[in-house]
Amino acid sequence: MTHMPGAQHFSSASAPVHLTSVQSMGMVFQIAGSSSKVLIDAQRLALLEQDEDPCTAMAGQVGSQVKMRVGNSWLVASVRAMTLDQASKGIVADIDFLGEGDEEKLTGRIYRFRRGVTRYPTPGTDIFPVSGHDMGQIYAADDRANVEIGTVYPTTDTRAALYVDSMLGKHFALLGSTGTGKSTSAALILHRICDLSPQGHIVMIDPHGEYGAAFATNGAVFDVNNLALPYWLMNFEEHCEVFVTSSGSERTVDCDILAKCLLAARTKNRLAESIGRLTVDSPIPYLLSDLTTILQNEMGKLDKGTNSLPYMRLKTKIDEIKADPRYSFMFSGMLVADTMQAFLAKIFRLPSDGKPISIIDVSAMPSDITSTVVSVLSRLVFDYAIWARDEPQRPILLVCEEAHRYIPNTTTGNGQAVRKILERIAKEGRKYGVSLGLITQRPSDLAEGVLSQCGTIISMRLNNDRDQAFVKAAMPEGARGFLDSIPALRNREAIICGEGVAVPIRVALDNLEEHRRPASGDPSFTELWRQSGSEADILERTITRWRNQGR
């Protein structure tokens, strides 16, 4: 191989091309299906590092791209690992093939890049650095609807685009340890989608109350004060989660009694007369007082020797919930009217009126009912999609923050209704036009198989080894070189691979305007601990809110 002293330029018919990028930097010496090995000249690598083009300067390093000519095409590969070959003093690198593009005759540059490889190179084929212009071609968005979310690493101007239809059509997951900028990245992606589709339909479960402020201008925010979720929309399984307190064989008895009395209570509604086959799951309004009266009457019919405890347990729990003001957003006596149409229109943004996203803030709800609320909302999304199959389609995106809470990998304990419905959406949702977006910091705690149902994975830095292993298992083969850099990502950087991008990419995400960011910044202890004064007022106001449960 020849070596050039410095990075001189020569001019061609187009823009100046760096001479360093025209010269070979090594050769292919072993070929296998997805992964192969190349030999890189160490002196040549040192020379390339001085190039003005950041992509050419990075060439040959882990995470960078190299190209090789096969026939009339350029083959592009990503460098995964490097070792020093003691015998030749050259560098042996493992590469993963990303795709191929045609060669522009005049300049030798890449154009019309596509994923996949039709022809592999033979050992001895020269390899070259990939320039910034090449990167622009490789990552250029095609004609499909897309949103730009950041800059492709290591370039300074190549924009990273997400293909919205492909990403939402096959679900997506956004992963990252606490403090890596996960909430801001989620807000950035959702803002971009809202800007692209102001008539869209997005429902977001927000367990910490972070996103309300971020979407104040282009979304509707619902919390305990204005959600008004009617309790009768719950199906039988969700009723059992809320009203049945016992376990074991007693639970089965209690559930059977509840099923019988609940069906009787639903039957009392005038709507029930027009319905042929009423079931315990039918979303028909009923009065809680009717349910307790029916329980009382059934208890009165019992023989002396029969145990009345199950009836007492159910009645006590229902009365307790009715009397507790924390539950009034759902179990209020005001929610008995048939408001199903108005409720669905409000939550699913039908019509959206330029505010396509509903933020459901569940942070102030009692913790023992949160999973049931999420279950009801997720099931309404899925059931609506099933029963609206013959109507003009209105696809819905359901985004679940802290997803490991609701789809845990345990099949025991509370909150199984929400796990079942979210797993079902992950498996079947796309047939009916329901997309699922999962945001979590603990992918290893998610139910098995859910992550592999996500066609696009956006991974920020993950510090835990188990989490990294889970993500690697869920990602496609060609992205492995990128995955090794997950622990080394900076804040607000992500590896994206799957359906939503043309080829796997590492992206420095855009900054979001201050007023569109979620309220999730870490407090500065040193700064806040310098402030003092008006503590008595702070305590008084806080205790008032505490005692009134936020009302």
pLDDT band at 3 (very low <50, low <70, confident <90, very high): very low
Q: Is the pLDDT of residue 11 over 70?
A: no
79 and 115 in a single domain? The answer is yes
Please count the structural domains in the chain: 3
Evaluate if residue 312 carries a pLDDT over 70. yes
Same domain? 78 vs 104: yes
End residue of a domain, out of 326, 344, 365: 326
Residue 444 domain boundaries = 160-228+333-519
Q: What average pLDDT does this structure show over 453-469?
A: 85
* The overall pTM is greater than 0.85: no
Structure confidence at residue 153 as a pLDDT band (50, 70, 90): confident
Residues 112 and 197 in one domain: no
Average of per-residue pLDDT values in the chain: 82
Residue 222, in any domain of the structure: yes
Residue 399, pLDDT above cutoff 90: yes
Band of pLDDT at residue 523, cut at 50, 70 and 90: low
Residue 152 within a domain: no
- Range with the poorest average pLDDT among 64-68, 111-115, 165-169: 111-115
Q: Is residue 218 part of a domain?
A: yes
- Using an 8 Å Cβ cutoff, are 288 and 231 in contact? yes
Residue 16 has pLDDT above 60, yes or no: no
3-state secondary structure of 98: strand
For 59-105, write each residue's pLDDT tens digit. 777 777 888 888 878 888 888 788 887 777 788 888 888 888 887 77
Would you say residue 512 has pLDDT above 60? yes
271 and 319 in a single domain? The answer is yes
What is the predicted pLDDT for the residue at 22? Answer: 65
**pLDDT for the residue 71:** 81
CA 259 from centroid of its chain's CA atoms:
36
The confidence score (pLDDT) of residue 437 equals 92
Q: Which percentage of the chain shows pLDDT scores above 90?
A: 7
Residue 148 in domain = no
Q: Find the DSSP H helices in 268-393.
A: 270-273, 288-300, 309-323, 328-331, 340-348, 367-387
Chain-centre distance for alpha carbon 169: 13
- Which whole number is the average pLDDT over 189-215? 88
Report yes or no on 377 lying in a domain.
Answer: yes
Q: Are residues 222 and 240 located together in one domain of the fold?
A: no
Taking the C-alpha atoms of residue 109 and residue 125, their distance in angstroms, rounded to an integer, is 17
The pLDDT score that the predictor gives to residue 537 is: 87
Q: Is a pLDDT exceeding 90 seen at residue 476?
A: no
Mean pLDDT of 258-274: 86
> Angle at CA 41, nearest 5°, toward 490 and 98?
50
What is the amino acid identity at position 248?
A: G
Closest CA to 357 of 512, 518, 229, 507: 518
- The dihedral formed by the CA atoms of 485, 490, 493 and 499, expressed in degrees to the nearest 10: 20
Residues 319 and 199 in one domain: no
Give the pLDDT band (50/70/90) at residue 538. Answer: confident
Res 106 pLDDT > 60: yes
Domain final residue pick, 326, 346, 378: 326
Does 2 map to a domain?
A: no
Q: Is 420 helix (H, G, I), strand (E, B) or coil?
A: helix
HEC-encoded secondary structure of 152-213: ECCCCCCEEEEEHHHHHHCCEEEECCCCCCHHHHHHHHHHHHHHHCCCCCEEEEECCCCCCC
CATH number of the domain encompassing residue 202: 3.40.50.300
Are 376 and 294 found together in one domain?
A: no
pLDDT at 550: 55
Q: Are residues 373 and 447 in the same domain?
A: yes
| CA distances (Å), origin 520, targets 185, 187, 213, 370, 449 | 11, 11, 11, 20, 29
Q: For the domain that residue 52 is a member of, what is the CATH number? A: 2.30.130
Examine the domain organization and report whether 312 and 438 are in the same domain.
no
CB neighbourhood size of 304 (10 A): 5
- pLDDT confidence of residue 377: 92
What pLDDT shows up at residue 14? 39
Residue 531 in domain: no
* Whether residue 448 has pLDDT greater than 60: yes
Least reliable range by pLDDT among 108-112, 226-230, 311-315: 108-112
Residue 204 is predicted with a pLDDT of 92
pLDDT at 13: 37
Average of pLDDT values for 424-435? Answer: 88
Any bridge partners for residue 10, and if so which? 17
pLDDT at 1: 40
237 shares its domain with 355: no
Least confident of 302-306, 316-320, 504-508: 302-306
pLDDT class for 397, splitting at 50, 70, 90?
very high
Residue 138 pLDDT:
76
At residue 20, the pLDDT reads 42
pLDDT band of residue 478 (cuts 50, 70, 90) is low
- pLDDT-derived band at 203, boundaries 50, 70, 90: very high
Query: Per-residue pLDDT for 503 more than 60?
Result: yes
* 84 and 41 housed in the same domain: yes
- Among 470, 371, 465, 459, smallest CA distance to 421 is for 371
Q: Has residue 487 got a pLDDT over 90?
A: no
- 382 within some domain: yes
Looking at 301, 326, 351, the residue that finishes a domain is 326
- Assess whether 184 and 81 both reside in one domain: no
